[in-house]
Structure 1
Amino acid sequence: MKRREPIEIFSLSFLDIISCAFGAVVMLILLAKNGEQGEYQDASQVATLIRDVNSAEQTVNGLQQALSAAQAQLKAAQALGASNAEQQKALEAQVARAKDNVQQLTDAATGLEQTLVERERAAINAGKALSRDDEVGGIPVDSDYVVFIIDTSGSMKTMWPRVLRTLDEVLNNHPKVEGFQVLSDNGDVLGGSRLGTWRKDSKAQRNGVLRGLQGWNGSSNSSPVEGIEAALRAYSRYQGNMALYVFGDDFTGSSYDAALAQINNLNRASSGALIARIHGIAFKRNMGASPDMVKFSTLMREVARQNNGTFMGL
C-alpha cells in the first residue's frame, strides 16, 4: 500500500492568498477613512455649494438676457441704419430732381425774358412806316406832342448807345408830330432851349437831337420825378394831346406813394382829365438789376398804369 504524503496547510499559495486578502482589507479601511474626512461631507457645506451654483446660474441667465437685449438693439440699429441710408438716397434723388427742375425753370425764364425783350423791342421798333398808327405794339402813339425825360446819370451813360438807339426807334413810331422836346431827369432842356417850348419836327431836328445827346452831360439825381413834374407844369396846356416817355434805370427817392401821388396830382386837369400819357422804359445794365433799378421799375410801372401809359424793360 502506497503511503500518502502529508498535507501542508500553510503552503506558499495559501500565504499568497492570505496576503492579497489582507491587502484588500487595508485598502478598504484606507478608502473608508478618506471618505469620512471628505471636504463636502458636512451638510452646511453642501447647501452653500448649492446656493453658489444657483447664484451662478442666475448670473448666467442675466447675462444671457442682457446679451439677447444687446443683440436686439444691434439688429434695430442695423435696421435703422439701413432705413436712414435709404432715406438719404431718396433725399439725394429728390435734390437732384429739384436741381433739374430749377435749371429747367431758369432756362424757361431766360427764354421768356428774351422773348419779352424781343417783343418789347418790336413794339417800339414797329413804327418805321411813314404813316402813324394810333397804337403800335401796345404803345399808344396818338399824341401830337412828345416829351422825352432821360436819366443822364453815370449808370445810364454806360448804356448810352442803347439809350440813343431806343430814342430813335420811339421817334420813328411818331413819323410826324407837332412838336417834341428832350429833358433830363432833373428837368433841364437839351441844348439850352427854354422849358415850355417845342422843337419843330423835322429830319434835321431829329438828327440834331441825336447828335446833341451823344455828348450831353445834364445834371441828374437818378430820379425821374423832377423831370416829370417839370414837363407837366410847363406843358399842361397841351392837355390830352401829349405823351411823356421816361427813360431811366434808377429811382433814388424814399417813397413810392409820395412820388406817385405828386405825379398823379400834377397830371390831372381841373376837370379830372389826364394831361398826358406817361410811358416808362427801364434800361437793365449788363451786371444785372440793382435795387435802385428795381425801385425805378416799380415806380414807373405804377405811374404808367395809372396814367394810361405803357411800361417796358430793355
Structure 2
Amino acid sequence: MKVRRGVPEMNLAFLDVICCGFGAIILLLMITKIGLPLVLEETLSDFAAQVALKQDAIKEIFGEIEMLERAKEESELNLDDALQRLKSLEEELEEVTSRFDALQTLTTDQKDRLADLVIAKQSLTDEMERLLGQDFQRRDSSIGGMTVDSEYIVFIIDTSGSMQEGAWPQVVAKVTEVLNVYPNVKGIQVMNDMGNYMFPRFQGLWIEDSPARRRAIIDRLRSWNIYSNSSPVEGIEQAIEDFYDPDKLISLYVFGDDFRPSSRAPSVEAVVDRIDSVNAIDEQGNRRVRIHGVGFPVYLSIGRLSSTFRQFATLMRELTVRNGGTFVALPRIN
C-alpha cells in the first residue's frame, strides 16, 4: 500500500500571501479611480453647454442676416419708387417748360403786331431810290415788328397736309400781303420747305418782278400741292446755296405750322447749328441772308397745343434771332 505524502505548511502560507497582495492592489486601484467618471461627466457637460451657446449665437447671426436682407429689399424698393417719382417729376417739368416756351412765343406784344402781319419795310438803296423816286419817304421804319433791307425775297412754304387743309387760304393771303409791302424788288422766288421750286424752270434763278409775275405766283400758290416733311432746314439750305451773293440783300420768309424732327434734322439744336454753318457770318458780323418766320396756329385752331408746333415756334424764334430776322406767330386762323 502506497503511503501519501503530506503538504508542507510553508507552501500554503506563501500562496495566501500572494493572493492577499493582489487583492490589496486591486482594492487600491479601485479606490484611486472611483472619481474619474465624475470628471468626464463634468467635462462633457461643459462641452454641451458651449455647443448650445454657439448654436444660439449662430441662430442670432442668421436672424440678423435675415433682417439685413429684408432691410436691403425694402431699401431697393424705396430706391425704385424714388427713381420713378423723379422720372415723373422730370416729365412734368419738361411739359411745363414746353408750355412756358409756347406761351412766351404767343405774348401779348406779338399778338398786337400780328394783327397787322406785314413783313417789314425795306430801307431804300440807291436802286430803290431810282425805282421809287428820291422824294419817297416811309411813315414808319417797321411794320409788324419786322425790319428788312432786302431787294431779293424768297418764300419757303410748308406744303404739308396740315397746312393745306388748315391754313392754305391764309397762306395765300399773307404771301399777298408781303408782296404788297414790297412794291418793287429785283427778284422773287418761291419754294417749299424741302427746297422744291414752285416753278421748276426757274430753279436757281431769280424771277424778275412784275405785276404779271406776281399774279402768276399767287394763282399758282392757290393750287400748289407738293410733298413736305414739315422741316424747313432743306429749303433754307437750298435757298442760301442757290442765291447767296455778297452783293445782294436777300431775305428768306419761312411759313409753317410745325416742325417734325428727321434724320437730317433730329432736333431744334441740330437745325440751328446746321443753319449757322450754312448762313455764315462775314467779317462785318452780318449773315449771308436774313431769315424771318411766320407761324400758322393750325393745331391751336382745333383745340390742340401740339408739341410739333411748340418745336416750330422755338426753332423759328432761335433762327430769326440768330439771323437778323423776326418770328411772328399768328394768334388764330382767320
Task: Please indicate, yes or no, whether the TM-score normalized by the shorter chain is above 0.5.
Answer: yes
2:271 is the counterpart of 1:259: yes
* Unmatched runs of 5 consecutive residues or more in structure 1: 1-108
| Identity percentage of aligned residues | 42
Query: Taking structure 1 as reference, are residues 132 and 188 closer, same or farther at Cα in structure 2, changes over 3 Å only?
Result: farther
Instruction: Give the structure 1 partner of residue 312 of structure 2.
Output: 296
* Unmatched runs of 5 consecutive residues or more in structure 2: 1-102, 122-131
CA contact under 8 A between 1:132 and 1:141: conserved in structure 2?
no
Q: TM-score, length-normalised on structure 1? A: 0.59
CA contact under 8 A between 1:132 and 1:175: conserved in structure 2?
no
User: Quick one: distance in 1 between partners of 2:119 and 2:239?
Assistant: 25
User: Quick one: distance in 2 between partners of 1:152 and 1:230?
Assistant: 16
3-state secondary structure, aligned to 2:111:
helix
2:146 is the counterpart of 1:139: yes
Query: Taking structure 1 as reference, are residues 161 and 123 closer, same or farther at Cα in structure 2, changes over 3 Å only?
Result: closer
Across the aligned residues of Structure 1 and Structure 2, the Cα RMSD in angstroms comes to 2.4
Counterpart of 2:180 (choices 169, 172, 183) is 172
Instruction: Give the structure 2 partner of residue 151 of structure 1.
Output: 158
Give the CA deviation at 1:196.
1.9
2:98 is the counterpart of 1:119: no
Tell me which amino acid in the other structure corresponds to 1:215: S
Instruction: Give the structure 2 partner of residue 309 of structure 1.
Output: 325
3-state secondary structure, aligned to 2:234:
helix
Give the CA deviation at 1:270.
5.4
CA contact under 8 A between 1:283 and 1:313: conserved in structure 2?
yes
User: Quick one: distance in 2 between partners of 1:181 and 1:207?
Assistant: 13
Instruction: Give the structure 2 partner of residue 9 of structure 1.
Output: none
Q: TM-score, length-normalised on structure 2? A: 0.56
Tell me which amino acid in the other structure corresponds to 1:246: V
| Higher relative contact order (Cα pairs below 8 Å, separated by 6+ residues) | 2
Counterpart of 1:213 (choices 207, 215, 221) is 221
CA contact under 8 A between 2:157 and 2:193: conserved in structure 1?
yes
Tell me which amino acid in the other structure corresponds to 1:296: F
Tell me which stretches of 4 or more aligned residues in structure 1 moved more than 6 Å.
112-115
Tell me which amino acid in the other structure corresponds to 1:171: L
User: Quick one: distance in 2 between partners of 1:125 and 1:268?
Assistant: 23
CA contact under 8 A between 1:232 and 1:267: conserved in structure 2?
yes
Instruction: Give the structure 2 partner of residue 276 of structure 1.
Output: 289
User: Quick one: distance in 2 between partners of 1:186 and 1:163?
Assistant: 17
Give the CA deviation at 1:269.
5.1
* Alignment coverage as a number of residue pairs: 202
Counterpart of 1:192 (choices 197, 200, 222) is 200
Tell me which amino acid in the other structure corresponds to 1:175: P
User: Quick one: distance in 2 between partners of 1:195 and 1:132?
Assistant: 35
User: Quick one: distance in 2 between partners of 1:161 and 1:183?
Assistant: 17
Instruction: Give the structure 1 partner of residue 232 of structure 2.
Output: 224
Q: Select the structure of larger CA radius of gyration.
A: 1
Give the CA deviation at 1:200.
0.9
User: Quick one: distance in 1 between partners of 2:315 and 2:108?
Assistant: 23
